[in-house]
């Protein structure tokens, strides 16, 4: 893989894995990529500036207030000269500073001052990685479009086992190469509408009917379609996920709101309806909190059917997207129900999956789907939801390439 002429600004922060940054530099240099290194004060406890200087064949920067450096190459200029900024290893502390927007040394100042893409390769103790503070910081960074490589699972320097180990230099290099190589954008100029997550149907101002959908699959599909160049409108029910970077996300609660947002987003070239829309809403939802009276009968909830968003948008008409994809979550007879659903709802494809409790699919990280189309049924292997999303996006793109 040649990265000839490309330039990476490598920020090395202080962790035991810092020695692996030397191997990463070697791989980058071998590919023809120019590397300038910046070290935090803590990093210099683990690798020497001299080693980085020798391998990068460039001056190594570490001090924010070095008048010499500022006159030669100001800290803003350092990041301007790069195509990509890579933080490897990225400690919990550095990631927290990035999330908070702190700038108290050269590395964090560069990261705040840059408008270049940023890739982080986290490395830390497993407890630190799983701490809610780190989880939240990573979500903030992901929502800002920061790319992430790793961390890996494994035995750590502190003898604990779990996620937190720096990704292998070859894997970080592959992530850098992917970011520096222009990706094909087969869906450029196309508008895609995606629904995701559950809906909440109010019973009264404080209670609602919901379901266990996490929105992970729908959000991943929106991100994967955006990565192929599509303009994506994501209509999301209430989820605990960050809005995908580069996607216009509209937040709704009820099925009625979701339908209105979808109709407002038309026209679209493609519609992907991954939301788990409540089939029914409460017809007699209370405008005030329902009160229980001692010994009194429980309230009777009258349910009424929600509009079918997929069927509404898939109905023939000038606004119908060229490709309409629905989902079918079933607990048995998946093939039969999916094929029936495709016909009944008027969609082109159905992505069907078995959501029986034993499968761990609903709310989980993996999915095993069937793609049901007019051409027949295709079974995909069990894959991460991100990979299912990438495959589906790539498949959608093939329908737009001559």
Closest CA to 386 of 371, 368, 365, 370: 365
Q: CA 398 to CA 327: how far, in whole Å?
A: 19
Nearer Cβ to ligand C5P (84/310): 310
Provide the Cα torsion 380, 381, 386, 389; round to 10°: 0
Binding to ligand C5P by residue 389, rule CB under 6 A? no
Nearer Cβ to ligand C5P (2/304): 304
Nearer Cβ to ligand C5P (173/337): 337
Binding-site string for ligand C5P from residue 218 to residue 257, where x marks contact by CB under 6 A and - marks none: -------------------------------------x--
Nearer Cβ to ligand C5P (38/268): 268
| 158 given a catalytic annotation | yes
For the bound state, the minimum distance from the C-beta of residue 201 to ligand C5P, rounded and expressed in Å, comes to 11
Task: Please identify which residue in 217, 306, 353, 367 interacts with ligand C5P, judged by CB under 6 A.
Answer: 306
For the bound state, the minimum distance from the C-beta of residue 132 to ligand C5P, rounded and expressed in Å, comes to 31
Contact by Cβ (8 Å): 134, 162: no
Task: Please identify which residue in 195, 217, 233, 236 interacts with ligand C5P, judged by CB under 6 A.
Answer: 195
Stretch that binds ligand C5P, among 40-48, 49-57, 110-118, 305-313 (CB under 6 A): 305-313
Task: Please identify which residue in 25, 328, 352, 362 interacts with ligand C5P, judged by CB under 6 A.
Answer: 328
Catalytic residue among 33, 158, 262, 347: 158
Residue numbers 45-104 binding ligand C5P by CB under 6 A: none
Task: Please identify which residue in 326, 342, 372, 393 interacts with ligand C5P, judged by CB under 6 A.
Answer: 326
Nearer Cβ to ligand C5P (6/385): 385
Q: Bridge-partner residues for 196, per DSSP? A: 236
C-alpha distances out from residue 288 to 199, 201, 205, 281, 294, Å: 21, 15, 6, 17, 18
Nearer Cβ to ligand C5P (110/203): 203
Binding to ligand C5P by residue 193, rule CB under 6 A? no
Radius of gyration of the chain (CA): 25
Nearer Cβ to ligand C5P (9/259): 259
Question: How many chain residues bind ligand C5P (CB under 6 A)?
Answer: 13
Stretch that binds ligand C5P, among 186-194, 224-232, 270-278, 367-375 (CB under 6 A): 270-278
Closest CA to 81 of 36, 28, 145: 36
Binding to ligand C5P by residue 308, rule CB under 6 A? yes
For the bound state, the minimum distance from the C-beta of residue 277 to ligand C5P, rounded and expressed in Å, comes to 3
Nearer Cβ to ligand C5P (37/247): 247
Binding to ligand C5P by residue 277, rule CB under 6 A? yes
Stretch that binds ligand C5P, among 67-75, 138-146, 203-211, 326-334 (CB under 6 A): 326-334
Task: Please identify which residue in 175, 252, 310, 323 interacts with ligand C5P, judged by CB under 6 A.
Answer: 310
For the bound state, the minimum distance from the C-beta of residue 236 to ligand C5P, rounded and expressed in Å, comes to 12
Residues labelled catalytic: 158
Give contact residues for ligand C5P (rule: CB under 6 A).
195, 255, 273, 275, 277, 306, 308-310, 326-328, 341
């Amino acid at each position: 893989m040649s990265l000839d002429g490309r330039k990476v600004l490598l920020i090395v922060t202080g962790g035991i894995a810092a020695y692996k940054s030397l191997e990463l530099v070697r791989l980058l240099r071998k590919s023809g990529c120019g590397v300038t290194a910046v070290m935090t004060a803590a990093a210099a406890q683990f690798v020497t500036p001299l080693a980085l200087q020798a391998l990068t064949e460039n001056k190594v920067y570490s001090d924010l207030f070095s008048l010499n450096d500022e006159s030669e190459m100001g800290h803003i200029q350092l990041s301007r000269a790069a195509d990509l900024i890579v933080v490897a290893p990225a400690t919990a502390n550095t990631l927290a500073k990035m999330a908070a927007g702190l700038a108290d040394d050269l590395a964090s100042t560069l990261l705040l001052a840059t408008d270049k893409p940023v890739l982080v390769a986290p490395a830390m103790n497993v407890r630190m990685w799983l701490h809610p503070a780190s989880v939240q910081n990573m979500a903030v960074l992901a929502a800002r479009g920061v790319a992430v490589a790793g961390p890996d699972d494994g035995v750590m320097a502190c003898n604990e086992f779990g996620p937190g180990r720096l990704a292998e230099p070859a894997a970080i290099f592959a992530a850098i190469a992917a970011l520096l190589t222009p990706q094909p954008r087969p869906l450029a100029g196309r508008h895609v509408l995606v629904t995701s997550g559950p809906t909440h149907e109010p019973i009264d101002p404080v209670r609602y009917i919901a379901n266990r959908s996490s929105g992970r699959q729908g959000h991943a599909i929106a991100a994967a379609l955006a990565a192929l160049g599509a303009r994506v409108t994501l209509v999301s029910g209430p989820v605990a996920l960050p809005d995908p970077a580069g996607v216009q996300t509209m937040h709704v609660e009820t099925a009625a709101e979701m339908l209105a947002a979808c109709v407002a987003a038309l026209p679209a070239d493609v519609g992907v309806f991954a939301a788990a829309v409540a089939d029914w809403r409460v017809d007699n939802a209370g405008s005030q909190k329902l009160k229980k009276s001692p010994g009194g009968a429980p309230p009777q909830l009258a349910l009424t059917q929600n509009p079918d968003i997929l069927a509404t948008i898939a109905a023939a008409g000038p606004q119908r997207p060229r490709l309409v994809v629905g989902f079918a979550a079933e607990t048995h007879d998946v093939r039969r129900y999916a094929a029936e659903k495709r016909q009944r709802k008027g969609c082109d494809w159905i992505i069907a999956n078995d959501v029986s409790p034993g499968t761990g699919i609903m709310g989980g990280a993996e999915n095993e789907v069937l793609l049901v189309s007019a051409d027949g049924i295709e079974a995909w292997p069990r894959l991460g939801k991100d990979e299912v999303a990438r495959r589906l996006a790539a498949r959608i793109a093939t329908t737009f390439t001559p």
